[in-house]
Amino acid sequence: MSENVVIAIDGPAGAGKSTVAKGLAQLLNYVYVDTGAMYRAITFIVLRNNVEDEIDEIIKIANQADIKLRFENGVTRVFVNGEEVTENIRTPEVNGKVSDVSKIPEVREQMVKIQRKLGQNTNIIAEGRDTTTVVFPDATIKVYLTASLDERVKRRHKELVEKGMNLTFEEVKENIMQRDRIDSSREASPLIKADDAVEVDSTNMTIPDEIYKILEMIEKATGRKLKQSL
Ligand code: DC
């Protein structure tokens, strides 16, 4: 087994995977891998090339894509074939298409390959669909982060309002429920909790609580003392 640490976090939409993963990455100086950003980047290129109905073209784009993620000051900057697409990948158009693109098995295979490479030589925290099952089946630690539906809606709503988006609680709830439906039903890869993942129900936890809990898990799994040195 290699010396580097891979923390993989999966779980339903809105539980706070990315907030917790970013916080941990900054604390520990690990590389943060936003796997959703990779699928969004491919989706953006697909839409720009107008090939959203041509599976072969989508697969070709995914196979040729050189994706780089650079996490700086709390933001993941995303580059495809050298072009920065950070601002382009969080739009209603991409949101509306990303699920279809991410369902294509060949696209997934390619993204998984890239993610695995990222986890080969460095300590990383990867969050997103399939990270604990398909992508890093032998991660050092697997966390399945959940929270009640209401709590997830509350968190996502707060996050969006803070970003200046004018959405009602009900609209966000509908969106999260739709994500849950897609996540549980997609044939290519339904949302699954890995057998050896530790479930963390964060419904009544604060973000620092969650980070602390996962830090303890990392200490236990690696024998490294982390909390003292922070
Ligand atoms: O985490 P996110 O909302 O940015 O994810 C965007 C989409 O990509 C979402 O539909 C799930 C999908 N995805 C996936 O299928 N597999 C992954 N490893 C990561 C994301």
Ligand 1 centroid – CA 102 distance (Å): 7
- The CB of 116 under 6 Å from ligand 1? The reply is no
The minimum-distance atom of ligand 1 relative to the CA of 128 is 19
Give pLDDT tens digits for 104-149. Answer: 999 999 999 999 999 998 999 999 999 999 999 999 999 999 999 9
What's the distance, CA 76 to chain centroid?
11
Phi, psi of 73 (to 5 degrees): 50, 45
Is 159 exposed, middle or buried (CB count within 10 Å of its CB: 0-12, 13-18, 19+)?
middle
Q: Which domains does the chain have, with CATH numbers?
A: 6-220 (3.40.50.300)
Structure tokens at 121: 């030589």
The residues, any chain, with a CB within 8 Å of residue 196's CB and separated by 6 or more, are 142
Helix/strand/coil for 142? strand
Nearest atom, ligand 1, residue 13 CA:
3
Question: For all residues of the chain together, what is the average pLDDT?
Answer: 93
Amino acid letter, 7: I
Q: How far is CA 223 from the centre of its chain?
A: 26
Q: What is the mean pLDDT of residues 153-176?
A: 93
Bridge-based pairing state of the strands 124-127 and 83-84: unpaired
pLDDT, residue 229, reads 63
Stated pTM of the model: 0.93
Q: Tell me 3's DSSP state.
A: S
Model confidence at 67: pLDDT above 70: yes
66-73 contact pairs (CB < 8 A, 24+): 67/38, 67/41, 67/42, 67/114, 69/32, 69/33, 69/34, 69/37, 69/38, 69/118, 71/22, 71/25, 71/31, 71/32, 71/34
Is 67 close to ligand 1, i.e. is its CB under 6 Å away? no
Q: pLDDT confidence of 188, banded at 50, 70, 90?
A: confident
Distance from residue 90's CA to the centre of ligand 1 (Å):
12
What is the average per-residue pLDDT within 9-13? 96
Q: Using the atom order of ligand 1, give the atom closest to the CA of residue 17.
A: 1
Distance between Cα 164 and ligand 1 center (Å): 23
Q: Return all residues near 42 (Cβ < 8 A) that are at least 6 apart.
A: 58, 61, 62, 65, 67, 80, 101, 107, 111
Q: How confident is the model at residue 224 (pLDDT cuts 50, 70, 90)?
A: confident
* Per-residue pLDDT at 195: 95
Give the pLDDT confidence of 18-62 residue by residue, as tens digits: 999 999 999 999 999 999 999 999 999 999 999 999 999 999 999
Residue whose entry in the numeric block shows the structure tokens 């990270």: 131
